[in-house]
Copies of this chain bind each other. A is one copy, B any other.
């Protein structure tokens, strides 16, 4: 029985471990405990922001997944709110078991409950498996995502 809830400070080491356990994350995260100050500060900023929802998926008390939703106010479309889903991870020993789909369905429901008119995500251009997954969830990929490192 997998459940979802808002992340608590005590979940932070598990969440950071999942962020680090991924080809990109391995090179840019540091899951050693005590956690680097940046993680704790970021958690506090997210937790204090009513338009941010950092969540965990839990199975029998074990944290097995995480994602972050940002609720975005904007003027476009007559002031419609949008939801943005980022930093989605499933614990490596639980991948390919349909948990990612449950997490997205839960996240989309959170966006709907907040009155969002749309949900958006970005994903690497080369990840054809992820593209099929998002399309199966009803997303359409008509945009390019640009990033610039400062």
Which of A's residues lie within 8 Å of B, judged by CB? 12, 15-16, 19, 25, 28-30, 36-43, 45-46, 49, 51-52, 54, 68, 70, 72-81, 86-87, 108, 111-112, 116-125, 131, 134-135, 137-150
Contact = CB atoms under 8 A, between A and B. Distances in A.
Nearest to A126: B142
Is the contact region of chain A dominated by helix, strand, or loop, or is it mixed?
mixed
Given A51-B49, A75-B54, A78-B38, A118 B139 contact: no
Contact of A42 (B46, B79, B125, B140): B79
Nearest to A77: B28
A59 to B, nearest CB: 21
B143 A39 contact: no
Contact of A46 (B37, B74, B144): B74
Contacts of A73: 42, 45-46, 49, 52
A148 B143 CA distance: 12
Q: Which of A68, A131, A148, A149 has the most CB of B within 10 A?
A: A148
